[in-house]
Amino acid sequence: MRSELPKNYALLYDIVRGAGHGVHFTMNELFAHAKRRQPRIGFSTVYRGVQRLRDAGCIDEIELPGNDGAVYELKGTPHAHFRCELCGRVQDVAFALSARTLGAIAESTGAQIAHTSVALSGRCRSCR
């Protein structure tokens, strides 16, 4: 996948992939990391690159209640997210809705479920 990406988009993928699973970036954080490695890169290039990586299935875009914007992470196995209401830290939680639960929801609503997202919020260990 990386070899098929334009140079600046590959840079963004390298940043996210290099951070590994469980690391969540805001758009501004990705821009800051990219700017350090490619000083002439513009915010709009980063924005377009992130959208392309998301659409290609390389990274996930997570929108959490209480966040000003989405956060982005390396694509991985299904999991939930916890956001601390005090410090804003986002962390992965080993939880996903079972196929049985999703099937029951789909059946009862008549919907075809294409994507799920579980978001938890409260106070993290450090802020408690």
Res 6: pLDDT:
74
The per-residue pLDDT for range 74-115, each reduced to its tens digit, is 999 989 999 999 999 999 999 999 999 999 999 999 999 988
* DSSP strand pairing (90-93 vs 80-84): antiparallel
The per-residue pLDDT for range 51-74, each reduced to its tens digit, is 999 999 999 999 988 888 899 999
Res 7: pLDDT:
84
